[in-house]
Amino acid sequence: MRYLSTRGGGDPKRFCDILLEGLAEDGGLYLPERYPQVDGATLACWRGLAYHELAFEILSLYIDDIPAADLQRICAQTYRAEVFGGRTEITPLNELEPGLYLEELSNGPTLAFKDMAMQLLGALFEYELGRRGEQLNILGATSGDTGSAAEYAMRGRAGVNVFMLSPHGRMSPFQQAQMFSLQDKNIHNLAVRGVFDDCQDIVKAVSNDLTYKKSRKIGTVNSINWARLLAQVVYYFAGYFQATKSNDERVSFCVPSGNFGNVCAGHVARQMGLPIAQLVVATNENDVLDEFFRTGRYAPRGAAHTHATSSPSMDISKASNFERFVADLFGREGARVRAAFTAPAFEIPAADRERVATEFGFASGSSSHADRLATIRSCQQRYGRLIDPHTADGLKVAVEQRQAGVPMIVLETALPAKFAETLVEATGAQPPRPAGLDGIENLPKRVQVLDADVGQVRAVIDAALGL
Ligand SMILES: Cc1ncc(COP(=O)(O)O)c(C=O)c1O
Ligand SMILES: N[C@@H](CCOP(=O)(O)O)C(=O)O
CB 139 within 8 A of CB 203: yes
Nearest CA, atom 12, ligand 2: 142
Residue to substitute in 23, 120, 145, 221 for testing ligand 2 pocket (most ligand atoms within 8 angstroms of CB): 145
Half-sphere exposure of 145 (CA within 13 A, CB side): 33
Does the predicted model carry a pTM greater than 0.95?
A: yes
Assess whether the C-beta atom of 239 lies below 6 angstroms from ligand 1.
no
Amino acid 64: pLDDT: 98
Assess whether the C-beta atom of 257 lies below 6 angstroms from ligand 1.
yes
Query: DSSP H helical segments within 155-285, as ranges?
Result: 173-180, 196-208, 210-216, 226-243, 261-272
Q: Among all ligands shown, which has an atom nearest to the Cα of 146?
A: 2
| Domain coordinates in residue numbering, the chain | 93-109+226-427
DSSP string, 15-64: HHHHHHH-S-TTS--EEESSPPP--HHHHHHHTT--HHHHHHHHHHHH--
Q: Tell me how far apart the alpha carbons of residues 437 and 415 are, in angstroms, rounded to a whole number.
A: 13
Amino acid 435: pLDDT: 87
**Selection from 371, 373, 315, 318 nearest residue 342 by Cα:** 318
Nearest CA, atom 5, ligand 2: 259
Q: Which CATH class is domain 93-109+226-427?
A: alpha beta
Phi–psi pair at 315, nearest 5 degrees: -80, 75
In ligand 1, which atom is closest to the CA atom of 145? 16
CB 151 within 8 A of CB 164: yes
**Selection from 103, 143, 382 nearest residue 251 by Cα:** 103
Residue to substitute in 222, 225, 391 for testing ligand 2 pocket (most ligand atoms within 8 angstroms of CB): 222
Q: Tell me how far apart the alpha carbons of residues 334 and 318 are, in angstroms, rounded to a whole number.
A: 19
Amino acid 461: pLDDT: 96
d(CA 400, ligand 1 centre) in Å: 20
d(CA 43, ligand 2 centre) in Å: 30
Q: How many residues does the chain have?
A: 467
Report the b/e string of 36-70 with b at 16+ CB within 10 A.
eebeeebbeebbeebbbebbbbbbbbbbeebeeee
Ligand 2 residue neighbourhood (C-beta within 6 Å) = 142-147, 222-223, 258-259, 261, 313, 320
Per-residue model confidence as pLDDT tens for the chain (467 residues): 999 999 999 999 999 999 999 999 999 999 999 999 999 999 999 999 999 999 999 999 999 999 999 999 999 999 999 999 999 999 999 999 999 999 999 999 999 999 999 999 999 999 999 999 999 999 999 999 999 999 999 998 878 999 999 999 999 999 999 999 999 999 999 999 999 999 999 999 999 999 999 999 999 999 999 999 999 999 999 999 999 999 999 999 999 999 999 999 999 999 999 999 999 999 999 999 999 999 999 999 999 999 999 999 999 999 999 999 999 999 999 999 999 999 999 999 999 999 999 999 999 999 999 999 999 999 999 999 999 999 999 999 999 999 999 999 999 999 999 999 999 999 999 999 998 899 999 999 999 999 999 999 999 999 999 99
Residue to substitute in 114, 203, 390 for testing ligand 2 pocket (most ligand atoms within 8 angstroms of CB): 114
Amino acid 159: pLDDT: 85
SS3 391: helix
Q: Please tell me which residue in 13, 114, 418, 445 is annotated as part of the active site.
A: 114
d(CA 122, ligand 1 centre) in Å: 19
Q: Tell me how far apart the alpha carbons of residues 55 and 450 are, in angstroms, rounded to a whole number.
A: 39
d(CA 35, ligand 2 centre) in Å: 24
Amino acid 144: pLDDT: 92
Look up 114 and say whether it is catalytic.
Answer: yes
Nearest CA, atom 12, ligand 1: 313
Q: Are strands 362-366 and 346-347 parallel, antiparallel or unpaired?
A: unpaired
Please report the beta strands in 201-358, taking only residues with DSSP state E, as ranges in sequence order: 218-219, 251-256, 276-283, 297-298, 346-347
Rama region for 122: left / alpha / beta (φ>0; ψ in -120 to 50; rest): alpha
Amino acid 158: pLDDT: 79
Strand ordering across the sheet containing 100-104: 93-97, 100-104, 408-412, 251-256, 276-283, 362-366
Assess whether the C-beta atom of 178 lies below 6 angstroms from ligand 1.
no
SS3 364: strand
Dihedral (Cα; 202, 203, 208, 211), 10-degree rounding: 100
Residue to substitute in 259, 260, 313 for testing ligand 2 pocket (most ligand atoms within 8 angstroms of CB): 259
Assess whether the C-beta atom of 313 lies below 6 angstroms from ligand 1.
yes
Assess whether the C-beta atom of 256 lies below 6 angstroms from ligand 1.
yes
Q: Tell me how far apart the alpha carbons of residues 92 and 95 are, in angstroms, rounded to a whole number.
A: 10
d(CA 211, ligand 1 centre) in Å: 31
CB 394 within 8 A of CB 256: yes
**Selection from 169, 192, 265, 253 nearest residue 223 by Cα:** 265
In ligand 2, which atom is closest to the CA atom of 166? 12
In ligand 2, which atom is closest to the CA atom of 314? 1
Assess whether the C-beta atom of 222 lies below 6 angstroms from ligand 1.
no
Query: DSSP H helical segments within 359-452, as ranges?
Result: 369-383, 389-401, 420-427
d(CA 257, ligand 1 centre) in Å: 5
Predicted confidence (pLDDT) per residue in 403-450, tens digit: 999 999 999 999 999 999 999 999 999 999 998 899 999 999 999 999
Q: Tell me how far apart the alpha carbons of residues 33 and 24 are, in angstroms, rounded to a whole number.
A: 14
Predicted confidence (pLDDT) per residue in 362-371, tens digit: 999 999 999 9
d(CA 143, ligand 2 centre) in Å: 6
Q: What is the ipTM of this complex?
A: 0.99
CB 191 within 8 A of CB 175: no
The enclosing H or E element of 153 equals helix 146-154
* Residues contacting residue 84 through CB under 8 Å, at least 6 positions apart: 90, 91, 107, 108, 115
